[in-house]
């Protein structure tokens, strides 16, 4: 369907070597030849076949982005950032959703391997870290959040820890003594450090933490708001019930808030609320929702910069620093209620 390099060469009255040199910008070419090739290429709508070029040069100009769950909007800024910076340097972006599944991840990595991607960027923790380590040792440039943060001097724990400490400290100060950390089945596994940090931090300020794991069926928590409301009602209204609900994720937060509204739990009079992950809706909600934010975008920028550098692309500007997570106090946190 498309023109090839020989047709362009013929049209321009030069050899294929000259066309190649002009199109890639590598190697010498007279002004005359350059002009002839350019116009011939435009005339024929010539686009160099990157399969052929990859085969010859052993560079695919493709970066693979591995996302643990494409349904989760938190990964969107990540994907966006990588795509923007990659395309600026002529790289295309292949996206692969692993659906939090080891087997799917393996298949996807094989697919990316078959495409001979020049680098791999993980938007979240890989399901099979060993496999990834092996690829990395085989010479493939790879960026993965946890390892990356560690190398950059921000191991996960320290990045999140201060924000979690801030949150727990504030909660204790305004009188809370019992906290429930709510998550869904799938997510617990993906971020076990969080729970450990929260647990430790709570204990140190005299708050008793308690994990609440919601069932993860088809439809998940979304399917059963009335049921969820009942669960939360009995949880919160018990005499020794928690006075704070802490949502494990941005996705879970609105479901919990809705269920609390349905259950007639007033925020923050009956129970305070906070969640991981900020959003415009969290701000708009009344009372506005306290959050712990991670600057995922900055992480993506730093990871992409590191990858591009390994690929030998000069990225101008100073290296981007990673900001630790931040605890944002908003109206959804109030003084602990005194239960009758």
Query: Which positions touch DNA (CB under 7 A)?
Result: 4-6, 13-21, 23-24, 26-30, 32-33, 46, 48-49, 52-53, 55-58
Of its own copies, DNA, none, which one does residue 251 interact with (CB within 5 to 8 Å by kind)?
its own copies
Decide if residue 60 touches its own copies (CB under 8 A): yes
- Three-class DSSP category at 274: strand
Nearer to its own copies, 107 or 227 (CB): 107
Of its own copies, DNA, none, which one does residue 32 interact with (CB within 5 to 8 Å by kind)?
DNA
Residue window 182-221: x/- pattern of binding to its own copies, with contact defined by CB under 8 A:
----------------------------------------
Residue 30, both tokens? 């007279």
Nearer to DNA, 26 or 286 (CB): 26
Distance CA 246, CA 253 (A): 9
Pair 212, 183: CB distance under 8 Å: yes
Q: Residues 125-136, buried b or exposed e (16+ Cβ, 10 A)?
A: bbbeeeebeebe
Contacting residue, 42, 84, 227, 339, with its own copies by CB under 8 A? 84
Decide if residue 340 touches its own copies (CB under 8 A): no
Residue 113, both tokens? 């391997």
Nearer to its own copies, 216 or 279 (CB): 279
Pair 292, 329: CB distance under 8 Å: no
Distance CA 281, CA 260 (A): 17
Decide if residue 136 touches its own copies (CB under 8 A): no
Residue window 258-297: x/- pattern of binding to its own copies, with contact defined by CB under 8 A:
x--x-----------------xxx-xxxx-x---------
Contacting residue, 103, 110, 193, 266, with its own copies by CB under 8 A? 110
Contacting residue, 4, 7, 44, 77, with its own copies by CB under 8 A? 77
Distance CA 3, CA 12 (A): 13
Nearest alpha-carbon partner for 46 in 10, 2, 90, 1? 2
Of DNA, its own copies, none, which one does residue 33 interact with (CB within 5 to 8 Å by kind)?
DNA
Distance CA 295, CA 323 (A): 7
Pair 67, 124: CB distance under 8 Å: yes
Pair 100, 68: CB distance under 8 Å: yes
Contacting residue, 116, 177, 210, 330, with its own copies by CB under 8 A? 116
């Amino acid at each position: 369907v498309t023109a090839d390099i020989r047709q362009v060469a013929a049209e321009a009255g030069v050899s294929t070597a000259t066309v190649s040199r002009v199109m890639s910008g590598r190697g010498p070419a007279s002004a005359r030849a350059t002009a002839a090739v350019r116009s011939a290429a435009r005339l024929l709508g010539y686009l160099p076949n990157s399969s052929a070029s990859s085969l010859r040069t052993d560079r695919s100009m493709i970066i693979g982005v591995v996302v643990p769950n494409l349904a989760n909007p938190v990964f969107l800024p990540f994907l966006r950032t990588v795509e923007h910076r990659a395309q600026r340097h002529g790289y295309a972006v292949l996206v692969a959703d692993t659906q939090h599944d080891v087997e799917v991840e393996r298949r996807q990595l094989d697919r990316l391997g078959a495409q001979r991607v020049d680098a791999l960027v993980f938007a979240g923790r890989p399901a099979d870290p060993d496999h990834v380590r092996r690829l990395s040792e085989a010479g493939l440039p790879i960026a993965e959040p946890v390892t990356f943060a560690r190398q950059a001097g921000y191991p996960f724990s320290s990045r999140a820890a201060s924000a979690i400490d801030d949150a727990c400290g504030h909660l204790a100060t305004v009188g809370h003594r019992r906290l429930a950390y709510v998550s869904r089945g799938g997510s617990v596994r993906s971020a076990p450090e969080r729970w450990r940090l929260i647990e430790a931090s709570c204990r140190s300020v005299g708050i008793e933490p308690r994990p609440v794991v919601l069932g993860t069926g088809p439809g998940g928590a979304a399917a059963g708001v009335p049921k969820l409301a009942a669960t939360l009602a009995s949880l919160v209204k018990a005499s020794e019930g928690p006075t704070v609900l802490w949502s494990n994720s941005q996705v879970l937060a609105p479901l919990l808030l809705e269920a609390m509204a349905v259950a007639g739990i007033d925020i923050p009079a009956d129970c305070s609320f906070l969640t991981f992950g900020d959003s415009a809706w969290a701000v708009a909600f009344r009372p506005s929702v306290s959050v712990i934010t991670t600057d995922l975008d900055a992480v993506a920028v730093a990871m992409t910069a590191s990858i591009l550098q390994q690929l030998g692309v000069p990225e101008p500007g100073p290296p981007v620093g990673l900001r630790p997570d931040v605890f944002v106090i908003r109206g959804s946190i109030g003084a602990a209620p005194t239960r009758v």
